[in-house]
Structure 1
Amino acid sequence: MLVIVDHFFKAIIPIACKTTLSSEGWAKILRDEVYAKYGMPVTVISDRGPQFVSKFLQDLYKMLDIKGNASTAFHPQTDGQTECANQEVEKYLRIFINFQQTDWPEWLPLAAFQHNNRVHSATGKSPFFINFGRNPRVAPDSHSHAPLRTPASEAFKATMKHIHDETKTALEKVAVQMKNQYDKKRKATVEYQIGDKVWLDTTNLHLARPKKKLDDKRISPFLILEKCGLSAYKLKLPATWKIYPVFNETLLTPYVAPTFANQKQDPPPPPNIINDEEQYEIDTILDHKLHKVCGPKDPKTGKYTTNTVTDYLVAWKGYGTEENKWTKESELENAKEAIAEYWESRKDTITVQAIVVDNIKADGSGSPTFILNSRMKDGNVQFQVQQGTDFVITSWYFEHEIPHLSELIKDYYWVSREEFGEEYRPVDRYAPEEEGG
């Protein structure tokens, strides 16, 4: 469902549509439901869904002289009136739709009518009255109690009156609840200036740390570059962050300088100059990942070769966790000691993801079979299987291709080298393939 709200006279237009709505689909809705009925809009405020921020839509808005204003990162309340309207319509539908919840599109026109005929708290008038200069005719002017021709007509009349009364009560109730809930969470507004430093809330950020629960609640501070709209600010983020740099004020906290000298953080150290290039000092290597890249073409076969490369997650000395960066091994030529220390620290860590010892005979002969990993492919689960330990042969199989392992797949779990011994581990530094198979 898509709900359009006119920010001037507060009318709503609820539309039944799929979550896969495209930019072209939204353009048609804008033409048929807004332009054809109310004229050309001046501004369109939306969330940051791909259908609303696509290049196609940006060009269309530019051609029609419409200002597109997407909500700021992690703050859908930028489009707050639509959020409230969504909740009101959902409240209405919850009351009247059938048990199977299949007839909700049929109730949308009546939901819109009830909302648009109700006095809005901001204007003191109904959206219908502001738009047309009068209130709609809701019920017959005549109060005649002449008998109707059919019982069905009488029942329909009674049903509509009941729906109208219940809807009015329900919408008034939800409006009060929403206001009370908003007032509880609302905090005093802080007016920031360009150049101010602020902490950024990490609730919606995915930092490279194992446990979100133990992660920092706020990070940096960051410098404010400009104010965007009434309550959003653009921050100077690290170049490695590939996110929208505008955040609502609710995610920002004023930076307060430490009271005592020993609480102050030292400024980031300057980079070293090696071969006329800046090189930042590594504090520690936190993690690694392997992936395949296309190599040169084999002159004999004419096919491109595949190389496996390693990336390391690097923490830089003197910088916060927000500056941690995945870096190619080829870019860490002067960090061989740090890389060696990283692998030394991982000696006794988990390297085998699962083991199935179905090929071990009573006399101890035979070789084990490893299930190294699993993944989704073409809508089904695949398992990566390794046979033996002297040399590595791994292949991806769907479960129906390895029926003899069906019971043993249930034992798919993590084990360590210490538990099973060195002879049961796969090739050192093993990481599952990301593509192919």
Structure 2
Amino acid sequence: MIKIQEPNRPWEIFHMDWVTGLPPRGDRSYNASLVIVDRFCETTIFLPCHKDYIAMDTALLIWNRVVSWTGIFTNIISERDPKFTSELFTNLHQLFGTKLFFSTAYHPQTDGLAERMIQTLEDMCTLLQELELEYKTSIHASTNQTPAILEKGWNPKLPQDSLRKDLVEINPKAASFKGMLEKTIKHAVRCMEDSFAYDKDKWDKSHATPDFKVGDLVLLSTTNFNNIKGCKKIKYSLSGPFFIKALHGENAVEVELSEELSNKHPTFP
């Protein structure tokens, strides 16, 4: 399992991904959502949009709704979507000195933060703001804190707080606020490191690291291939062999695909 660079503060690195195919909602008939997840405190922003947004639309959406709040970020982690791999988006990232990292085909272990967040998103537009507030004030297993505590040092008051007498309010005006926040952030960083170490140990026990080289022949799993001819039940579980053209890090390779698979992205975990 490959460890991604860890941030030192909120909104230094964030993950983003799309939810599409949603029923149209709202005055503008939004049918998709861009999900932004801060890697440090796991604060999440849900941006209603349309699934046919082009690179310019996406760039403006992030600039108007994210950068104005978070400032310029250092790294972005995303899947290989045309909206993010276009020349426009590449130039924007170069302009601001931001690095754009892509997870490989079929969501391997490189990333997963945005995908896990998407699994909790059920209602697209009518409850986005309520869902976002509830998510920010919920304790996350990886940090043992709420995103709001790590980002601001306090939890926003919720409508149901008056009925939850067991909740402890954190007063940002207290003299020890700075020390409390620093202690909380250090604790969250330790929890993140422990969480990654646990996940890495589980992953490494069940996944051997292959020793691939450029020019090697490899077989590809056809699990995610939908355009292979023949009955799905009797088709081969492997396709190939294919020559390795390039190595991308320690967990992905680029192969020379056949004409039948030319519409597939050539990089695989």
Q: Normalised by the size of structure 1, how large is the TM-score?
A: 0.40
1:218 to 194, 214, 238: 238
Change (3 A) 1:35 1:237: same
Alignment RMSD? 3.1
> Separation in 2 of the partners of 1:21 and 1:235?
30
Q: CA deviation at 1:120?
A: 1.3
1:192 and 2:210 matched:
yes
Kept in 2, the 8 Å contact 1:53–1:70? The answer is: no
Distance 1:71 1:225 in 2: 18
Q: Which residue of 2 aligns with 1:2?
A: 34
The change in CA–CA distance for 1:229 and 1:136 in structure 2 (over 3 A counts) is farther
Larger CA Rg, structure 1 vs 2 = 1
Matched, 1:131 2:151: yes
State the SS of the aligned residue for 1:8: coil
Candidates 232, 244, 249, aligned match of 2:252: 232
Alignment CA distance shift 1:139-1:202 (3 Å): closer
8 A Cα contact 1:75 1:247, kept in partner: no
Match of 1:117 among 117, 137, 149: 137
Q: Secondary structure at the match of 1:203?
A: coil
Q: Distance in 2 between matches of 1:209 and 1:200?
A: 16
Residue 113 of structure 1: how far off its partner (Å)? 1.1
Question: 1:197 Cα shift?
Answer: 4.7
SS at match of 2:41: coil
| CA distances 1:142-173 after superposition (whole Å, capped 9, x unpaired) | x7xxxxxxxxxxxxxx8xx8xxxxxxxxxxxx
Q: Secondary structure at the match of 1:28?
A: helix
Which residue identity does 1:113 align to in structure 2?
L
For the 8 Å contact 1:194–1:226, the answer to whether it is kept is: no
Structure 1 residues 206, 137: closer, same or farther in 2, change over 3 A? closer
Structure 2 residue 69 is the aligned partner of structure 1 residue 51 = no
Q: Deviations over 1:5-60 (max 9, x none)?
A: 11122110011111112211111121122211111122222233322222221222
Task: Indicate yes or no: 2:267 matched with 1:246.
Answer: yes
1:29 paired with 2:61, answer: yes
Between the two proteins, the alignment pairs up a number of residues equal to 196
Conservation of the 8 A alpha-carbon contact between 1:198 and 1:224: yes
- Secondary structure at the residue paired with 2:81? coil
Matched residue of 2:93: which SS? helix
Q: Could you say which residue in structure 2 is the equivalent of 1:65?
A: 97
Q: Equivalent residue for 1:107? A: 127
Q: Give the Cα–Cα distance (whole angstroms) in 1 for the partners of residues 98 and 260 of structure 2.
A: 33
**Higher relative contact order (Cα pairs below 8 Å, separated by 6+ residues):** 2
CA distance 1:47–1:225, change in 2 (3 Å):
same
User: SS of the residue aligned with 1:137?
Assistant: coil
Specify every segment of 5 or more residues in structure 1 that has no aligned partner in the other structure, as ranges.
Answer: 94-103, 144-157, 162-181, 249-437
**CA 1:28/1:189 → structure 2, altered by over 3 Å: closer, same or farther?**
same
Which of 10, 15, 18 is equivalent to 2:50? 18
Partner in structure 2 of residue 80 of structure 1: 112
Counterpart CA distance in 1 for 2:91 and 2:217 is 35
Looking at structure 2, the residues matched to 230 and 115 of structure 1 have their Cα atoms a distance apart, in angstroms, of 33
Letter in structure 1 aligned against 2:208:
V
For each residue in 1:181-201, what CA deviation from the matched residue of structure 2 results, as whole angstroms up to 9, or x when unmatched?
x9xxx8811201232653210
Q: Secondary structure at the match of 2:112?
A: helix
Matches of 2:219 and 2:43 in 1, distance apart?
Answer: 38
Output the CA distance in 2 between the equivalents of 1:206 and 1:86.
23
Q: 1:54 to 1:131 in 2, by over 3 A?
A: same
Task: Mark the runs of 5 or more structure 2 residues left unpaired by the alignment.
Answer: 1-32, 165-198
- 2:224 equivalent to 1:204: yes
- One-letter amino acid matched to 1:52: F
Name 2:171's counterpart in structure 1: none
Identity over the aligned pairs, expressed in percent? Answer: 29
The whole-number CA distance in structure 1 between the counterparts of 2:138 and 2:55 is 32
The answer (yes or no) to whether the contact 1:129–1:135 under 8 Å persists in 2 is: yes
Q: How far apart are residue 125 of structure 1 and its match?
A: 1.4
**What SS does the corresponding residue of 1:114 show, helix, strand or coil?**
helix
